[in-house]
Structure 1
Amino acid sequence: MMGFWQPLTNLRDYVSQNPPGTTFFLCLLTLAISFICLSFYSNTHTLPNPDITKDWNRVLSSLSTFHLCVKANELNSSVQSPLIKQEEDRKTSVNSAKSPSSVTHLHLKVPLALVTSSSPSVSLRDLSLHTTLRASQLLIGGNENVNLTLEFLSDNGSYTCLTISAPSDLLPTSVRPPECPESEKNISSFYVEASNQLPTLSPTCYSLNFKDDTTLTVMLTQEEQSVAVQHLLDFSVCLLGVCLMLCIAACQPHALKRRNQWNGLYQQSEPLIDS
């Protein structure tokens, strides 16, 4: 039996004669290497917490997907602001009556920029846009109303002041953007409707550009990352152990012996066929 112990030859024969087993071995080996690479990456980088499904980056990213369009029959800005305030107060009161939770009002400095306008004559600075969305449109709830006001000031640079009014239990409890400073400027205000597609009848539409802010993402703690890395390494070692056992089993002489048995049966069957 020891004379047939030829590991490389036996392994080569096993690979050539057992494609399913070889494929299974390669899949396990690839998975083990992938987990090792993932553990190394997790150990050298800060990762977001996958258990946090609601954060401000997600809310702002959802808001940036909408086109904000002024109605064709919208009043001018000098008489528009009181009407907007009355409309917002009415919707907020209705929303509060429907929901037992209290309404939270936030005035935040967010990384949103006004990038385009369908009307070239309209300025993109010193402008205030008001709208109302469903919580489901911002991926934070169901059919509750969320009142939004976006202020684009000329001295703000690349950020926007966002005023959001929504039930407290809908707003993300993760890291919040900083408070936006109050402005004494007299700016033009418009009530806009948000839509996923650009309307053809609206004379003026705006779109938003959002840049992901890493400070608003909840990251894993060092302890949580260490536990995740340890689990990945443990699982990788188990997979490599299985791969090693498969290699040892494939190197055993029974693979070569089985091939010789099949060759002998084939040679015995040849005279029967000729006769």
Structure 2
Amino acid sequence: MSCQFCGGLRLCVRHHPPLVTFWLCLLMLAATFLFYAFYIRAFPVNDADYTKDFDTVLQTLSASKLCPRWNATAAVPSLQSSEDVANASVLASVTLPSSVNHSALQIRATARQLGMTGLDTDSHLLLTVTCSWRSAQCNLSDAECSGKCCVIVTGPRSLLPHSWSSLQCYAANPSRQQPPEELYVMEGESDRPPQCYSLHYRGDPGLKAMMSQEDCAVSSGHLLAAMLVCLLVALLLFVVSACWVNPIKDKRTPAAL
């Protein structure tokens, strides 16, 4: 019986190489699903679908033009005065433009202009970027805090970006500093004032959106289920191949002698 089983496998390998290749691909796919299922349980995973995080906001700002208000008739976006307005802060590797004569900038933009997607993306947010800041968790001499600026976002609570970082900050003695320059995120090239700026942001993995433990558990379960399906199909093909005893005959007419 075992010889017949091995013989069937040899016949399948000899006469059906595409089927054998497909069987090997199923095994590799099952191994890949198993690897990713354990990986997302053991290590933090970035959530590419979540856009309300500081990394997305700062990446979008670094690719945008920040311009001052250039005429008196331009509409000035303002925050709605309500109890829902709050703020969130984070320390980030942001470099102010060298041509700016202020130690801080205030940037007004909509949530859509900051790269956020979803509902209420036309609501306005106020970003304050200052390199003179204070923090209860660290000081300027700490290696984790040195060389970073404080980014404070003020706006509706539902649109505030998350940082996944315990380092929060606030402006140091704002009343004694020079008033920050007010800038706006500009769209298009028409009617743009001559003096515009660009922020330089060095990406920080700690500011990216991370999948929650619940989402990781659900995704891991789906990957394990897909792995089991691949293994079951591979096992079925293995049994069928082992039981194969009638290879496809060559239907070509033999040449006349």
Asked whether the two chains share a fold, i.e. TM above 0.5, the reply is: yes
Which protein has the bigger helix share? 1
1:30 corresponds to? 28
Q: Tell whether 2:115 aligns with 1:139.
A: yes
| CA 253–148 in structure 1, closer or farther in 2 if over 3 Å, else same | closer
Structure 2 length-normalised TM: 0.69
- 1:160-218, CA deviations, whole angstroms, 9 ceiling, x for partnerless residues? 23343323332247757624153244225323343478999734623221432526744
Question: Number of residues paired by the alignment?
Answer: 240
- Asked if 1:106 is matched to 2:87, the reply is yes
Say whether the 8 Å CA contact 2:87–2:157 is kept in structure 1: no
Q: Label 1:225 to 1:168 Cα distance change in 2 as closer, same or farther (>3 A).
A: closer
Change (3 A) 1:218 1:45: closer
Distance 2:164 2:188 in 1: 31
The CA distance in 1 between the partners of 2:77 and 2:195, in whole Å, is 26
Q: For the Cα contact (< 8 Å) 2:103–2:180, is it kept in 1?
A: yes
Query: Structure 2 CA distance, aligned partners of 1:202 and 1:18?
Result: 70
CA contact (8 A) 1:48 1:217 kept: yes
**Structure 1: segments with no counterpart, 5+ residues:** 75-82
Displacement of 1:116? 4.3
Structure 2 vs 1, CA of residues 64 and 198 (structure 1 numbering), >3 Å: closer, same or farther? farther
Distance in 2 separating the partners of 1:3 and 1:65? 67
Aligned CA distance change for structure 1 residues 50 and 127 (closer, same or farther; 3 Å): closer
1:128 is matched with which residue?
104
Whichever residue aligns with residue 91 of structure 1, its letter is P
Spell out, residue by residue over 1:31-56, the C-alpha distance to the aligned partner (whole angstroms, 9 max, x if none).
10101211232343233467755333
Q: Say if 2:53 and 2:208, in contact at 8 Å, map to a contact too.
A: yes
State the match for 1:258 in structure 2: 247
1:5 aligns with 2:4: yes
| Residue 181 of structure 2, aligned match among 182, 190, 198 | 190
Contact 1:102 1:168 in 2 (8 A): no
**CA root-mean-square deviation:** 4.2
Structure 2 SS opposite 1:130: strand
Distance change >3 Å, CA 42–CA 189, structure 1 → 2: closer
Correspondence 1:39 to 2:37: yes
Give the counterpart letter for 1:182 in structure 2: A
Distance in 2 of aligned mates of 1:230 and 1:191: 49
Are the structure 2 counterparts of residues 161 and 50 from structure 1 closer, same or farther at C-alpha, using a change threshold of 3 Å?
Answer: closer
Equivalence for 1:91: 77
What TM-score results when the alignment is normalised by the length of structure 1?
Answer: 0.65
- Rounded Cα–Cα distance in structure 1 between residues aligned with 2:195 and 2:225: 61
- 1:80 matched to which residue of 2? none
Name the amino acid aligned to 1:252: C
